[in-house]
Amino acid sequence: GESVGLHLPTLSVQEGDNSIINCAYSNSASDYFIWYKQESGKGPQFIIDIRSNMDKRQGQRVTVLLNKTVKHLSLQIAATQPGDSAVYFCAEIENTGNQFYFGTGTSLTVIP
Amino acid sequence: ETGVTQSPTHLIKTRGQQVTLRCSSQSGHNTVSWYQQALGQGPQFIFQYYREEENGRGNFPPRFSGLQFPNYSSELNVNALELDDSALYLCASSLDLEKYNEQFFGPGTRLTVL
């Protein structure tokens, strides 16, 4: 499969601060990206998505930025809360629509 | 909870054995995907089923096979188990093909191969 990787395997932030999680991808054919949150003992949970014809998308407290020039994706979490502590994965989907590539993941720890 | 259930929760097998893992999709979901997640890694796509037919496959050998039933529940079968097959196996269901933003994951089955 293609390479989808994350720059930082672990990230610790103070409660209330903003968090930024980064992801690099290598397949220029990918046209859809998703960020997932995975808590211990649970399956991944959808957070936010973005298509390749966009460079920014905002949700509730989360923003995803896509830079196709350098094949980079980031997830910004505003006012990070203890409940945000989890492993975060980016995933890319090729435009064939039936292949998923997940990154390795970043473990986010929020310090109260 | 997502409405996607998997059984069993945990399973221990020995090398060379065969295993069947089961997944019940969320009501009305006709698409199921299976993933293997090794410890400390991201999930790896195994295959996807849509309306009882395989609709895509990742880089896994033929000893990984699947089924989807008329009620859209699904099975993952692994033959000739190897030590490296030890992982968390996740299934995810969605309302239709390419509805990835509406794809819900189950809690997974933890398989240990000794």
Residue B12 has pLDDT above 90, yes or no: yes
What confidence score (pLDDT) does residue A95 get? 66
Under the banding of pLDDT at 50, 70 and 90, the label for residue A26 is confident
Mean pLDDT of the region A83-112: 87
More confident residue, A67 or B56: A67
How far does the CA of residue B82 sit from the closest CA of chain A (Å)? 21
What confidence score (pLDDT) does residue B79 get? 97
What separation, in Å, do the N-terminal and C-terminal C-alpha atoms of chain B show? Answer: 31
What confidence score (pLDDT) does residue A1 get? 36
Q: Which residue of A has its CA nearest to B32?
A: A98
Whether the upstream peptide bond of residue A82 has omega within 30° of 0, thus cis, is no
Q: What average pLDDT is seen over chain B?
A: 93
Q: What are the pLDDT digits (tens) for B25-70?
A: 988 889 999 999 998 889 999 999 999 999 889 999 999 999 999 9
Which residues in chain A are closer than 8 Å to B110, comparing Cβ atoms? none
Q: Which two tokens stand for residue A73?
A: 């994706």
Task: Quote the percentage of chain B above a pLDDT of 70.
Answer: 98
What confidence score (pLDDT) does residue A97 get? 57
- Judge residue A104's burial from the number of C-beta atoms within 10 Å of its C-beta, 0-12 exposed, 13-18 middle, 19 or more buried: middle
What confidence score (pLDDT) does residue A44 get? 94
Are A102 and B42 in contact (CB < 8 Å)?
A: yes
Task: Quote the percentage of chain A above a pLDDT of 70.
Answer: 89
